Amino acid sequence: FTVRWPEGWRCPRCGEGEGWPNARGLVECRACGHQSGLTAGTVFHSTKLPLRLWFKAMFLMVTQKNGVSAKALQGFLGISYPTAWTWLHKLRRAISMRPHAPLEGVVEVDDTYWGGTRQGERGRRKGGGSKDLVLVAVEVKENASGRVRLAHAPDHTGGSFRGIVGEAVAQGSEVRTDGLNSYARLGESGYRHVAEVIGPNQGARAVQVLPKVHRAISLLKRWLIGTHQGAPKGKHLAHDLEEFEFRYNRRSSRHRSLLFQRLLDCALIDKTPPYWRIIGRPEAGQPLHLGVA
């Protein structure tokens, strides 16, 4: 209650500051009679399980070194797998709604593929198929890495890349990339673009030229393979990237319990979609299919 209304309760309909709890556990406005619940319009909207279990799930999500999968959360809390899966996806969507401050200074940008491969398929291509294209940007802080931004890119076109970089990186920053043509016009978008051409068989040199972003990509793939068994893909991948970004940017926090507070703040921003919408079921009443873990 204190976190959601730090300055005291306010009616969401008329703004009145006085009300009283009724027999249903709702707060009824003195002025207009509107009844509002503590969890209405939040991630916890219409939950049938105690908030204590939600809070345990959130604490495990942000304090475990490698995060937590739906299967592990099922065992920790003693809830069903569909419930654990849904909770994690709702929390990831809540994380994606938080404000994003753009990266500044010197920023390394590179792209990578995640997912299955096709026989005989090599190098970069226009996306689609069984692979997902991910764009990664990392701040350079002398000998260390700063914040990271990740995005699930629709294709390799220059327009898509410039749009993603435009949202992730503040104008006037120095953007370092390889020689891919998709980055060629970043200098026209208000950035100091520094490009160094890297050949198709020069993987070791690519790591030397863009070390910070390649380390972030390596950690991302290790996390997806280790914690989530390589399952995230397609429409759900963008929200998994948000969780990785949230955790990575707070990796040096000395007070891990504060991460729970940050996640709780995200959970109060807005109501996330219900389970049937997350899995993409077109109409109510049709069979449920979980999709990816």
Whether the CB-CB separation of 109 and 137 falls below 8 Å is answered with yes
pLDDT at 129: 54
pLDDT at 123: 54
d(CA 198, CA 210): 10
Residue 21 pairs with which residues in a beta bridge? Answer: 27
Q: What is the pTM of this model?
A: 0.83
- Highest mean pLDDT out of 24-33, 108-117, 149-158: 149-158
pLDDT band at 122 (very low <50, low <70, confident <90, very high): low
Residue 287, pLDDT > 80, answer no
d(CA 179, CA 198): 6
pLDDT in tens, 8-17: 888 888 888 8
Name, in order, each residue with C-beta under 8 angstroms of 119's C-beta and a sequence gap of 6 or more.
none
Whether the CB-CB separation of 172 and 179 falls below 8 Å is answered with no
> Which string of DSSP letters, residue by residue, matches 124-154?
--S--TTEEEEEEEEEEETTEEEEEEEEEES
Asked which of 48-52, 185-189, 210-214, 277-281 is least confident by mean pLDDT, the reply is 277-281
Find the mean pLDDT for residues 229-255: 87
pLDDT at 128: 47
- The total number of residues written for the chain in this structure: 293
d(CA 157, CA 168): 17
pLDDT at 134: 96
pLDDT at 192: 96
pLDDT at 108: 96
Mean predicted lDDT score pLDDT of the chain: 86
pLDDT at 124: 54
pLDDT in tens, 69-117: 999 999 999 999 999 999 999 999 999 888 889 999 999 999 999 986 5
Name, in order, each residue with C-beta under 8 angstroms of 113's C-beta and a sequence gap of 6 or more.
131, 132, 133, 134
pLDDT band at 121 (very low <50, low <70, confident <90, very high): low
Residue 175, pLDDT > 80, answer yes
